[in-house]
Every structure is written in structure tokens, then in C-alpha cells.
């Protein structure tokens, strides 16, 4: 905690990663903060004392802290921040680095890391622009622009990481591609969620303002994205070891979106026409089983992850009871 060196950074990051495996985000945040602040200090004041390899290592550790901290801050806005987000535009991106025995895999690993950084930055932008203030009526121009940006991100992925929308439900060719596809679907569901909220609010008020039917169509894109996000969750090493806590909250949100859509007639019609309630119930049950397995992979069960799994089970049972 006091040493200012690359081994100290690696120790702090490794400890943070260990707590992600234990599904304990507050402890993760403590060690990420310490690690990220050391990174910022070393890159500003100690560059002359570092070799090029050490400097590249510090950069990579910084960006790892940025990704992990951003994931936590989306769910726990009140925890202390390290300053990563404020400094990210001033820190150089990772360059080539020897991470694997094969130089080809090292290059692919670097490209994957850059793709993870860029999608995380885009997710941060989405949350900042769409959720920093309460919109009475969603800004469809902004939503369309962010949707365009996420599509442009997908289009420029290199072949090893790229996926087509026509193959979005097919098994991923590799874990790198599979994990990026999960991030992409998460982003799409978040982009269209304000329109979903608008449709639900107008329905509760028994109001049909101009453009309401177009809003229902766009809200249907949110339902489609959350369904694809739920069905594409896979037990990749990154997902299970690092993202179980994040995934549990995200997937609880996904299931609640489906439940609210189920209770909102205009959106329920979209669900029934596109998927059918039997398929939705089966998908929720499969999701519940996956998260239960992820949760039990750690030595102790996280109370918050357990609560999310129980919430998903309750929603599935309510839908089943209502349909019968």
C-alpha cells in the first residue's frame, strides 16, 4: 500500500481481482483506488525512472483499473472514486506487449484489450448522456447517435473479434468475441431503455402523445436487446471470475425490464409476437441456473448476488402463475 513500484501495482491489482472472484465489490474498490492512484502518480512523476516495458505495464494496469472501476461505479455511484475517469483522456492507450508465447496471440490480446477499453468508454458516455438527468421525453436524436456509435464500434472490430448481427444468436467463435458481444448487447439495451421508460410511464398515465407508436417500436428494440443480452450470457473466464457480481445486477435489471414489459399491454404484445411467453420463461430459467452456477463458483456466496438470483426466480414464477 505504501510502495511506489510496478510490483506494488501488480500486487494491488491482483488483490482487487481476487476480491472480484469473491464477489465483494466494496473491497475491490478499495484496492482499485489505491492501485489507480499509484498508476497516475507514477505516470506523472516517475516516467524517467521506468523502462519502456515498465511504463507499458503501468499503462495496462491503469486501463484495467479503469474498466473494473467503471463497472462498479455504474452500480454503486456513492463509493469513492480514484480519478481514472477524469484522467482517461490524458493516458495513452496500451501498445503491443508480450503477453503470450505466440506473438500472434499477444497482438490479438492487445486488440481485445483495446476493444474492451473502447466499449467501456462508450458505455460510460451512454450513462452520462442519457442518465445524468431525468428526461420527460427521451431525446431520440441522442439515442440514435449513440446507437450509431455502438454500431460503428462493432463494424471496426478486427476479424478475430468481429461478429455480424445475423450470427448474434450463434455460439461465439472464441471467448474474446463472445465477451465483446455481451458488452455490445448490454450497451444496446441501455441505449433504448429511456424510450422503454417513456412508453411505460405514458401507459400508466393513460396518455398517448404524438409519436407514441414510434416510441413503442423503439421500446421494442430495448426488449429485443435485453432478450439477446440474457440469452448470450456465457460462462467465459472473464464473466465468471471477474464479472459475476456485475452480471447478477445487470441480469436482474434485464428480467425486471421483461417483467415490466409483460405488465404493459403495448409492450407485452411486442413480446408475444416476437418471442412467445413460453420461450421467455425458458430463457429466464436458463439465466437463473447460469447465475446460480456462477455464484457458487466462489468460496462463499455473495448476499447481493444471491438476492439477484432470487429476484429473477420470483419474476419467473410470477409470469408463470399469471399465464396459468
Tell which wins on pLDDT, 11 or 95.
11
pLDDT of residue 324: 61
pLDDT 10s digits, 13-59 = 999 999 999 999 999 999 999 999 999 999 888 777 888 889 999 99
What span, in angstroms and rounded, lies between the C-alpha atoms of 269 and 127? 28
Residues 63-85, mean pLDDT to the nearest whole number: 89
pLDDT of residue 14: 97
pLDDT of residue 230: 93
What span, in angstroms and rounded, lies between the C-alpha atoms of 276 and 211? 26
What span, in angstroms and rounded, lies between the C-alpha atoms of 254 and 57? 36
pLDDT 10s digits, 169-225 = 888 999 999 999 999 999 999 999 999 999 999 999 998 888 888 999 999 999 999
pLDDT of residue 313: 92
pLDDT of residue 116: 95
What span, in angstroms and rounded, lies between the C-alpha atoms of 236 and 241? 8
Q: Are 47 and 87 in contact (CB under 8 A)?
A: no
The three-point CA angle 301-302-306 to 5° equals: 85
Which residues have a Cβ under 8 Å from the Cβ of 241 and sit 6 or more positions away? 17, 20, 21, 297
Element at 70 (helix H, strand E): helix 52-75
CA distances 212 to 7, 219, 258, Å, are 57, 10, 20
Instruction: Name the band, by pLDDT with cuts 50, 70 and 90, for residue 293.
Output: very high
Asked if pLDDT for residue 11 goes beyond 80, the answer is: yes
Amino acid at each position: 500500500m505504501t510502495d511506489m513500484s510496478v510490483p506494488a501495482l501488480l500486487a494491488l491489482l491482483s488483490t482487487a481481482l481476487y476480491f472480484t472472484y469473491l464477489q465483494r465489490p466494496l473491497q475491490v474498490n478499495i484496492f482499485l483506488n489505491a492501485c489507480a492512484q499509484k498508476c497516475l502518480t507514477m505516470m506523472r512523476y516517475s516516467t524517467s525512472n521506468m523502462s519502456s516495458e515498465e511504463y507499458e505495464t503501468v499503462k495496462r494496469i491503469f486501463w484495467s483499473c479503469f474498466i473494473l472501476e467503471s463497472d462498479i461505479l455504474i452500480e454503486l455511484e456513492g463509493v469513492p472514486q480514484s480519478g481514472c475517469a477524469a484522467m482517461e483522456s490524458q493516458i495513452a492507450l496500451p501498445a503491443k506487449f508480450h503477453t503470450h508465447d505466440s506473438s500472434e496471440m499477444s497482438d490479438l490480446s492487445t486488440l481485445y484489450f483495446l476493444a474492451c477499453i473502447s466499449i467501456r468508454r462508450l458505455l460510460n458516455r451512454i450513462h452520462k448522456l442519457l442518465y445524468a438527468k431525468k428526461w420527460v421525453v427521451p431525446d431520440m436524436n441522442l439515442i440514435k447517435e449513440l446507437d450509431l456509435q455502438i454500431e460503428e464500434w462493432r463494424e471496426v472490430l478486427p476479424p478475430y473479434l468481429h461478429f455480424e448481427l445475423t450470427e448474434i444468436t450463434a455460439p461465439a467463435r472464441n471467448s474474446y468475441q463472445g465477451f465483446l458481444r455481451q458488452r455490445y448487447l448490454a450497451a444496446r439495451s441501455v441505449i433504448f431503455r429511456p424510450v422503454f421508460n417513456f412508453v411505460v410511464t405514458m401507459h400508466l398515465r393513460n396518455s398517448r402523445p404524438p409519436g407514441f407508436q414510434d416510441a413503442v417500436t423503439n421500446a421494442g428494440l430495448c426488449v429485443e436487446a435485453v432478450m439477446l443480452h440474457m440469452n448470450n450470457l456465457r460462462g467465459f473466464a472473464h464473466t465468471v471470475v471477474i464479472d459475476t457480481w456485475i452480471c447478477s445486477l445487470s441480469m436482474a435489471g434485464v428480467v425486471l425490464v421483461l417483467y415490466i414489459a409483460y405488465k404493459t399491454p403495448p409492450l407485452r404484445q411486442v413480446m408475444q409476437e416476437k418471442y412467445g411467453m413460453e420461450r421467455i420463461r425458458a430463457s429466464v430459467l436458463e439465466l437463473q441456473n447460469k447465475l446460480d452456477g456462477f455464484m457458487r463458483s466462489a468460496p462463499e456466496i455473495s448476499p447481493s448476488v444471491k438476492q439477484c438470483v432470487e429476484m429473477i426466480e420470483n419474476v419467473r414464477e410470477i409470469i408463470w402463475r399469471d399465464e396459468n
